[in-house]
Structure 1
Amino acid sequence: MNISSWKRIVIKVGSALIAPKQNGCSSRYLLGIAQFIVRCKSMGIEVVLVSSGSVAAGSHLFDDKKEVNMAMKKAMAAAGQMEMMATWDKLFDFPTAQILVTHGDLRDRERYVSIKETILALLKNDILPVLNENDTVTTDKLKVGDNDNLSAMIAAAADADTLIICSDVDGLYDSNPHENPDAKLIAKVNHIDASIFSMAGGASSAVGTGGMKTKVQAAQKAVAHGIDTFLINGFTEQSFNALISGKNPGTHFPSSQQPMKEHLHWMTHTSTAQGEVVVDNGFNAGLEDDSDQLTSDEIVEVNGDFSVGDTILVRKDDGTRLAKAKSNYSSCLLSFIAEQDDKSFASKLQNTTGPIISENNIAVLEEK
């Protein structure tokens, strides 16, 4: 690895580093991370920080912790976010900025582009963007759920070339190092498949919400966008010294040699399907080559409530996922066309209105 080639990096810091004892924020582990960020900036590398920890940072301000419901967690997040930002801000001699997002913001193309523009404007003005999920307002429907995957989405939005995910272990092991002293560290993962996911266990920290699985998921998202990803131990300063020296202190997930186009990556890894179009099991059209082959004749059913421009899932009746795509039809109109017995009428209507999905707005999915 060659740190001199880095132009823009995203570093993800978890709750266990922010508030290790859930008694407010602590600079114990953050000092080393802050020094790494300062050193990167001194080398001309732009940095974006994705920081968890608002709930963990704010929990000590609440007396009754026996029955912590969702409203209480949101209140903890609201209080803790202020303390967390204040802690980060005092560690730097340059300005920081707070950006709170939900998955609802990221999966909406217009808001996604707005987030991208804000991040780039802050970097241009030498201001450190600090992002976190907006736990105070998010719901189950709108949340990402973990900041590992959020960091990968932000890395893609920010056009970063490197993503650094801090963990409580040195990297990805072939088994849980907290349970197996003979577990071996995997220094490099060239391809993320089922065997890699099988090595990812649950979270060992009682503070954070993300385990090793979410970190591998994040790496998968990032490398598909052409982003080198490193999983390192954020609790030790040696990890960051190694990175500065051009050494790999943990697990390196090299970027894809053929990264996905930006809007297709967004559709595959960030946008959520608002509905689905189920086609006949015999459907064999090459969606990426000629989307006009998908006609109402092949549609078995239309599920969900979606509008023109929403992302939908195209799958076969047997459950095989074919693609995610931008729909040129609402679910209401598409259902109406698919239900017509008069196929000539359906064909005439579709010829007038246009293709169901357009060739340049289809992300073909790989079989898992």
Structure 2
Amino acid sequence: MSDLASARRVVVKIGSALVVGPDGAPDAAWLSDFAGDLARLRARGQQVLVVSSGAVALGRRRLGLGRKALTLPEKQAAAAAGQSALMHAWEAALEPHGLPVAQVLLTRDDTEIRRRWLNARATLETLLDLGVVPVVNENDTVVTEEIRYGDNDRLAARAAQLIGADLLVLLSDVDGLYTADPRSDPAAQHVPLVTDLDAGIEAMAGGANASAGVGTGGMATKIMAARIARQAGCATLITLGGRSSPLAQVEAGARATLVTAAVSPHAARKSWIGGSLAPSGVIRIDAGAARALRGGKSLLAAGVTAVEGRFGKGDAVVVRDEADREVARGLSRYDSEDAVRICGLSSAGVEAALGFSEGPVIHADDLAVSG
């Protein structure tokens, strides 16, 4: 699939059945082959984030919990015991390729509360820019049923949205979407390309082989994840993960389903900021700052003349010029109290006034300039 070769940022979701072997230990052979996939993508300049299940499965083995159904405290204990084993397995697989690894544990609040969303995105952006492969998992040790993602397909879609990924790869136990269950319906047809996630596509996903993990909770959740990613301008690739070097095999022509995105991640994000968020305050700027914003620059504190309203870090604000015209909308990196304190200050002055700096008041990536 050409999208895999051309994507600047790629998120790959990997389930427990791929990471953990039948004996309950990490599948070192599969991980080694997949590490070669990641090394190839990194060598051609692509950034890759991995969403990896497996902590609970590995923790079961460490704690001797067997295959019984786990209570929530037991599942959380297994996650705590298994997370270090999971990261050790990833480090062992990627170290021969010179790829450093970082563990990032998220909860749903980290992608749905804007202050925490900004913090999580800044961390992941920094790791990717440093050449690190972030390995993301849900923080099962502390999360409860009421606040969890529910499945790592959805977590992967949110991670793709978080970093502005171009492609989300969901490694599955099937090689894509079919019109019906191919294991019971010989007339089932593989669907290589999806350009619109309409009711017909959802019906195909919901009606396919639930017992093999491609029905409700399987393919249905993957299509749901693809919808989340698509809204963020990210395409989704669903393919078979159980073979060695699955990404290389897809690029060599192995069967998969590609769900396209209608717009780019950049355009989707700008549209979301500009039209979907209710602003919580107003930031007024001078003429020089207005010119800079229209030229694609970030909003620096030096160009801010006044702050109105009460807002928190990560909240949407309207940016207005000296003539009270709306210049842009964006996500503030400071709450309103701190924004007031740094009006007109240089970057060095911001640090001196607050004792810390979050950089520009609004980063260019978080600005939607008005037409």
**Same fold by TM (over 0.5)?**
yes
Give per-residue Cα distances to partners, 1:23-76, cap 9 Å, x unaligned.
122123323321111110011111111111111121122334445211111111
Check conservation: 2:175, 2:240, Cα contact below 8 A.
yes
Give per-residue Cα distances to partners, 1:299-320, cap 9 Å, x unaligned.
xxxxxxxx99899xxxxxxxxx
Q: 1:301 corresponds to which residue?
A: none
Match 1:110 to one of 115, 121, 125: 115
Q: 1:6 to 1:67 in 2, by over 3 A?
A: closer
Shift of 1:3: 4.4
Q: 2:256 corresponds to which residue?
A: 250
Task: Classify the secondary structure of the residue corresponding to 2:103.
Answer: strand
Task: Classify the secondary structure of the residue corresponding to 1:92.
Answer: helix
Task: Classify the secondary structure of the residue corresponding to 2:169.
Answer: strand
Task: Classify the secondary structure of the residue corresponding to 2:135.
Answer: strand
Match 2:222 to one of 204, 215, 239: 215
Q: 1:98 corresponds to which residue?
A: 103
- Please identify which structure carries the higher helix content: 2
Give per-residue Cα distances to partners, 1:212-247, cap 9 Å, x unaligned.
1110011111122111210010111364224444x4
Check conservation: 2:210, 2:216, Cα contact below 8 A.
yes
Match 1:83 to one of 82, 85, 89: 85
Q: 1:164 to 1:258 in 2, by over 3 A?
A: closer
Check conservation: 1:9, 1:48, Cα contact below 8 A.
yes
Match 1:123 to one of 128, 139, 148: 128
Query: Does 1:161 pair with 2:166?
Result: yes
Q: 2:243 corresponds to which residue?
A: 236
Mark the runs of 5 or more structure 1 residues left unpaired by the alignment.
Answer: 272-306, 312-359, 362-368
Q: Output the CA distance in 2 between the equivalents of 1:35 and 1:257.
A: 30
Letter in 2 for 1:30: L
Shift of 1:141: 1.9
Match 1:193 to one of 190, 198, 202: 198
Shift of 1:264: 6.5
Q: Output the CA distance in 2 between the equivalents of 1:268 and 1:234.
A: 38
Give per-residue Cα distances to partners, 1:103-128, cap 9 Å, x unaligned.
02211101111111111100111111
Letter in 2 for 1:252: L
Check conservation: 1:172, 1:231, Cα contact below 8 A.
yes
Check conservation: 2:10, 2:168, Cα contact below 8 A.
yes
Q: Output the CA distance in 2 between the equivalents of 1:222 and 1:47.
A: 16
Q: Output the CA distance in 2 between the equivalents of 1:24 and 1:69.
A: 22
Q: Output the CA distance in 1 between the equivalents of 2:21 and 2:86.
A: 13
- TM-score if structure 2 supplies the norm length? 0.67
Q: 1:8 corresponds to which residue?
A: 9
Name which of structure 1's ranges 223-232 and 3-12 shifts more when overlaid on structure 2: 3-12
Q: 1:318 corresponds to which residue?
A: none
Q: 1:173 corresponds to which residue?
A: 178
Q: Output the CA distance in 1 between the equivalents of 2:273 and 2:38.
A: 27
Q: Output the CA distance in 2 between the equivalents of 1:189 and 1:228.
A: 10
Name which of structure 1's ranges 20-29 and 227-236 shifts more when overlaid on structure 2: 20-29
Task: Classify the secondary structure of the residue corresponding to 2:18.
Answer: helix
Letter in 2 for 1:76: A
User: 1:305-324, aligned counterparts within 5 Å?
Assistant: none
Q: Output the CA distance in 1 between the equivalents of 2:43 and 2:264.
A: 31
Give per-residue Cα distances to partners, 1:227-280, cap 9 Å, x unaligned.
1210010111364224444x46300111113766427759999x9xxxxxxxxx
Check conservation: 1:228, 1:255, Cα contact below 8 A.
yes
Q: Output the CA distance in 1 between the equivalents of 2:88 and 2:238.
A: 26
Q: 1:175 to 1:138 in 2, by over 3 A?
A: same
User: 1:34-73, aligned counterparts within 5 Å?
Assistant: 34-65=35-66, 66=68, 68-73=70-75
Q: Output the CA distance in 2 between the equivalents of 1:120 and 1:187.
A: 32
Task: Classify the secondary structure of the residue corresponding to 2:165.
Answer: coil
Q: 1:140 corresponds to which residue?
A: 145
Q: Output the CA distance in 2 between the equivalents of 1:268 and 1:152.
A: 21
Q: 1:67 to 1:241 in 2, by over 3 A?
A: closer
% same residue = 34
Letter in 2 for 1:143: R
Task: Classify the secondary structure of the residue corresponding to 2:194.
Answer: coil
Q: 2:320 corresponds to which residue?
A: none
Q: 1:230 to 1:89 in 2, by over 3 A?
A: same
